[in-house]
Amino acid sequence: MDRVKKQACDTELVFCHSGQRNLFIFKDAVIVVFKKLDENLKSQNYPTPAAQRFNEQKEIEGIPASLPRIELGYVTDVAGASLNGIYAVRRLGHIIDWSINLSDADEPRQRDIKFA
């Protein structure tokens, strides 16, 4: 599976591991991780020390703190049968710094996402 993830990448999108995490680094500017989110846009993983450091935007195993970490996640309905939304979320510890609903075509902030 790692081979497939690496083959899907190129010079602008790099796949790597940090502990148990599968990470994608986009244009050496941002770290992206894919997660299932709850209705409060919080990830469902157990808060290990590594997960806490990741969410606090601190350095973790070979990943500098200078790269912002973004969770791209999906929210399902209560039964888990349908998708309620797809979001980009930046957390600072337990606080959500910002979030964008990527599945909402009327979300005006989607136009503001730029990676130089």
Beta bridge mates, 100: 88
Is residue 96 within 8 A of residue 87, CB to CB? The reply is no
pLDDT score recorded for residue 116: 44
**Residue 115: per-residue pLDDT:** 47
Q: What is the predicted pLDDT for the residue at 64?
A: 79
CA distances from 59 to 40, 64, 106 (A): 25, 5, 35
Q: Note the pLDDT tens digit of each residue in 26-84.
A: 888 888 989 999 999 988 777 788 888 888 888 877 777 888 999 999 999 888 888 88
Tokens 């979320």 sit at which residue?
89
- Give the global pTM: 0.77
